[in-house]
Structure 1
Amino acid sequence: MNKNPVDAALILVFLYPLLKGFLFKFSSKNMKSDIEEIGGYISFIIGVILGTYLTKKIFMIHQDGVYAKIYNNIPEQIISALESKPLLIYVLVMPIIIFLIYKVVQIIIDLINSITLYPLLDSIEDLLKGKSGFVKRIIGLLFQLPKGVCYVILLALVLNVLVIIGVNDTYNKKLNESKLYGNICKNIINPITNSKLAKKIPNVINDSFKIVIKNSEDQPGNESGKTIVYYNGITLSEGIKSNEEIDSFSRELVKNKKTSKEKAKIIYNWIGQNIEYDYDKVDKILDNDFTIKSGAINTFNTKKGICFDYSCLYSAMCKANNIKVRIVTGEGFNGSNWVSHAWNEVYISEENKWINVDTTFYKGGNYFDSSIFKLDHKDRKIAG
């Protein structure tokens, strides 16, 4: 029996309005009140959809068309504040935009309801005069279905926001175990909160990237007592191992670029555009099958991999061009919850600084030296 509290909460909020509709029967007066309430929920959901989309397009992506023009006309003081504290985008800017859209949509919906649905409900009530109480109960239940769906979506949105903020590991684990929440996020919440971007970003699954630390006392040829770290069954040095084909290709790819940042960006773009996320490999790793091949060479040859493979290939291609690079492990937000993840940091010599790079998330937006990087990456640890 599934005792996950997240599943139970989602089921209960769906059933509550249905039970209420059955018990109190259908009445025009009650339905008008319910429709007004549902209109508020729909207005809020539309506000979240459009508000989140516009906020991300203007303040996070802002790479094309009218969004770039809007972003470029925002006062520099505001941009500087948001770049220094990107969380303000989520806790201040986005709520304001969502609220404004919500109020406009609510006014429009109320106007439409007063002209269409409310007169229709009065007509239905007239038709039901003389009908049995059971018929009215069934109709009352059916009319509450939209409300039940709205309740579920609203609760899932709240749970999603709480996990983004990072309540605690136990909460994240419960969400990760909830198949119902996962399906709602995949089919409803992610498209709402991320629009087309959510559909493009790989559905990184928890435990698909596994780190195992072993003592090497019983490992032939290794110094006694030394620990060895394995990433999906291989060491880091094995993962970033390159060959002449990769090295030659990498140098040719960036031959017309002069700075390390230009070269690093070209490599980031190439991997993001040409390497696909390997879901078959994920299934095998979840089953603890480490006979699969990992690392830069296999990823370059097959054009497939998971986050560790993306990071290894990026490291190998940067090293071929004498660019300092390292692999970082931690957690990434996959749209539903925080999962184990790997990405890169590359040293930009002309600017004397390390920048964040995530080739796995390439299709989800700008993850090359982005000011919003820390919003969906946390618990950073340098692997090497």
Structure 2
Amino acid sequence: MLSAWSDSVREGNGITILLLFIVAFSLIQGWTRGASRSAGKLAFFLGDALLRLISIGISVPFTLWLSPKASAWLESLGSQIPDRELKLWEQIYYTFVKSMADFALLRFAVLFMISYCLIVFILRLLVSLTIGGSLGLFGLKKDKPSTIASRLAGAGIGAVMGVARGIVVIAILFIWVSLYPDHSFSRYVESSPVYQDGAQAVMEPLSGSLVRDKLPVFTQSVQEELNGIMQQKYEVIDHSIPEGIEQTAAHVVKGTATDEEKARKLYDWVGTRVSYDYDKVKAYEEQRIWHEQTPQDTYDTRSGVCIDYARLYSMMARSQDMKVRVVTGRGYNGQGGYGPHAWNEVYLSEKQQWIPLDPTWAQSGNWFNPPRFNETHIKEQVF
């Protein structure tokens, strides 16, 4: 084992060097402090870890109890969006409130962190007012070590703390490797024998299948919620539907009987009435100047880029009580590659399914739910 570690150090493996440095640094700290101060630091380390575990144990059930109650309260706040153009701080506020109300993982995470911090503070205060001083948990005496025996004992305690700190680092790396097993950094981490030994001896027996099997599923759920949060952003920003846009949408879909007919009529209207703004793209690509515009701007000027087409389509569809999304990702550029792009997905209630459509490309062909749509559109975010 030691020979593999030394070989890894000679080869310059950064993970091995970092983990061994943590242990060596802690050992030197222990030697400098001596036995009494090192023991105090170790007691503080263990006591603080115990306090945090207790706080987590209290915070989890408390948050589970509080979350549904908070959801109902936040839902009432989120339903009070003013029917006018919102200021920036109002957009941020209502996006956060609606996201907290609608997404359980986000709500749990925020409430958990708030309750956890409060409980840690309360417990630390109680300990400091009762037994903290006598145990030296919050006020350590700075006695200088005077004997070799004290320094040696301190070095041993420091080494123990170094190993504990190293295990924390290994745990973080273990989670990364479990989430991204094929990433180049993950392979680099796994090339460290120190990491391998630590993961096999500590992390795998403790975590079992939890990290490797459950964490990726949990991460996928988090990603889905993040996509939903971004969707809330545009729902809040474009919440107020101008009368002119609503009237135009109603006129366009007049006489239709199904969601598919409505969606197609709106697709044709946006795709043929709005012209692509090449100057806006050029200004961004050459000067990094982005001209943000609202759906009203796009409607008035009849000009925009893909995100503007998609936002205007979304607003017109919502004005007719349709479920619609703005999707961003990569679109085929006709030259063998893909570039940034935006389009829509609309829900057809009669078929109970979401279908894709691309009003920006409407003048180049039929991009209303065509076959093999996903071969030219790579979805990254759904708004």
Q: Using structure 1 for the length normalisation, give the TM-score.
A: 0.39
Which structure's residues are more often helix, by fraction?
2
Q: Using structure 2 for the length normalisation, give the TM-score.
A: 0.39
